[in-house]
Amino acid sequence: LLSINELSRIALERCDTSVCAVKTMGTLAEEYGFYGEYSDNPSKPGYGGSSEALIIADKFQHVWIFHILTGAHNSGAVWAAQRLGDDQFTIVPNTFVIRTLNLTDSANYLASSNVHSFAYAQGWASPSEPFDFTAAYGFAAPASNKPLYGGRRMWRAYDVVVPSLGLDPDVGFHARVPTYPLSVKPDTLVSPATIVRIFSDYYQNTSYDLTKGMAAGPFHDPARYSYAKGVQGAWERSISIHRMVHSFVLQTRPNMADAIGGVAWYAQGVPADSVYFPISCGQTTLPTVFNQAIRSKFDTESTWWAFQFTTNWAHLRYDLIHHEIQVQRIKYTTLARELQQSTEATCRSRNLSTSDCVALVESAYNEFIVTTTNAWWQFAWRLVSSFNAGYEFFNESATGGRSIGYPADWANQTEYVLYPQHYHPPAQVAAEENRTAAMDPDTGVLSIVVGGSSAQLEAFYLPSGFLLGFVCGTMSLSLVVAAVALVSRVRQEVSSTKSTPSKEAVVSKDCKVELAFNVVEVEAV
């Protein structure tokens, strides 16, 4: 009868503490039955898709880890819960993580009455060995990608908050062989910004960075779409992934009124590309744009679609467009945090009642959602006009754009450097191309073509400027030779004229300028 969605709603309606939520959800699931989101048939849920895991927190700073799955005969439920230490940090990455259960310590451990017996009956655990909840109920069929699917994310989150541990990123998470701790003590204080950073992670600057390698394409895109049919393999599963619909960080502050102290930082779309908006526990309304989203219908009045659109546009040229998105994301994230601080400061300075403070906060937060959504759409349209057709455009001037091309490291691994592989011109065309390429001043190459049926091409690589000097020198030498030859001829003519005067000498004055000049020179001798 009950899925994790219904159980969560009921717990939120009835409970003020996390332990109340654990007991309420567990008891109802045992009585009315639990089915998982991925169960093929909710009326008879299978065990493969019948489990869920939650982290539950309250205003008293108590945090519980809650695990649940379908019970015996595909009915009822099996569940367990463990309280997290006050100075501890944990991550639950699509897997059970609770192991030992000390049910005599009800302040820190809770479970269904059948938690041991059902596992023993199924042969998933032995009464002669220490009971391990994850080993009993979290077993998965052996596969090379399973241990790393959750294990790599577990390592990454722990490495962010407590790098001093130096956990091994490659051992993976294993149900029956513990490799990572249930929780860790952070090296420094953890804030909502820390969790946002973890949610936005795709292993940047690690050996598993999804913006690196051939699979990232020419533009270093971390998105990995599902699997390749008929090919054995898998992709790294990062924390921020392309198919995420939303994410949120819950902030509790027991020193403030419930309606103000509890804040949900909520992001629409992919965490790495989205802004986390503050929503107060006391709010009773949200803007239409924030609630309005149908995945199969594009909607420019939707906050979700605004972020979804820019994320998808970024795949055209991820390295450049994602940078633009980050500039805007940082800007509005900063504004969101400043808004929270300023509105709460106003409540204090004006000594507002809780209800008046909630009204102020709700109005400010909702207005921020609307204005940011509108601004994000304007930003989206700027991306469309700036990045398209393989260009980046800045303005309408003659130099207002640039071809952004491909990175050399990627092009060097493609057919680009092999082109043309399939080019076989006729012999006449090849000969013409050889003659045309005989001189190449740009590269300083002198080519000599020897014609005939067995034409050969010899190339000599010369210093820059050699060809120009060679040509100019050859032309100058030709002029000198011509001048000498002409002077010699004129001398002969003058000599002939002195011995036998005739009208021919007069005619010579009507010759070209060059000849007249030479005649004058000769006469001066």
Beta bridge mates, 276: 267
Closest CA to 197 of 134, 117, 100, 276: 276
Give residue 484's pLDDT band: very low, low, confident or very high (50, 70, 90): low
Beta bridge mates, 387: 392
* Residues 234/227, Cβ–Cβ less than 8 Å: yes
> Where exactly are the structural domains of the chain?
1-139, 244-421, 424-464, 466-523
Lookup: tokens for 375? 């601004």
Residue 499 has pLDDT above 70, yes or no: no
pLDDT in tens, 361-376: 999 999 999 999 999 9
Give the Cα separation of 238 and 246 in Å (integer).
Answer: 15
pLDDT value at position 455? 45
Residue 476 has pLDDT above 90, yes or no: no
Contacts 24+ apart (CB under 8 A), 487-493: 487/518, 487/521, 487/522, 490/515, 490/518, 490/519, 490/522, 491/522
Strands of 282-396, DSSP E: 387-388, 391-393
Give the Cα separation of 430 and 258 in Å (integer).
Answer: 83
Of the candidate ranges 104-118, 193-207, 491-505, the one whose mean pLDDT is the lowest: 491-505
SS3 410: helix
Lookup: tokens for 233? 């393999």
Give the Cα separation of 481 and 475 in Å (integer).
Answer: 10
pLDDT in tens, 92-142: 998 999 999 999 999 999 999 999 999 999 999 999 999 999 999 998 777
Most confident of 28-32, 232-236, 394-398: 28-32
Residue 460 has pLDDT above 90, yes or no: no
* Residues 234/241, Cβ–Cβ less than 8 Å: no
> Does the pTM of the predicted model rise above 0.85?
no
Residue 504 has pLDDT above 80, yes or no: no
Give the Cα separation of 185 and 162 in Å (integer).
Answer: 7
Kindly state the percentage of the chain with pLDDT values over 90. Answer: 71
Contacts 24+ apart (CB under 8 A), 114-118: 114/30, 114/71, 114/72, 114/76, 114/78, 115/78, 115/79, 115/80, 118/71, 118/72, 118/78
> Alpha helix locations (H) across 315-353?
318-349
Lookup: tokens for 267? 């992001």
pLDDT in tens, 52-83: 999 999 999 999 999 999 998 888 999 999 99
Give residue 437's pLDDT band: very low, low, confident or very high (50, 70, 90): confident
Average pLDDT over all residues of the chain? 86
H-run or E-run covering 217: none
Give residue 493's pLDDT band: very low, low, confident or very high (50, 70, 90): low
**Rounded average pLDDT over 160-184:** 96
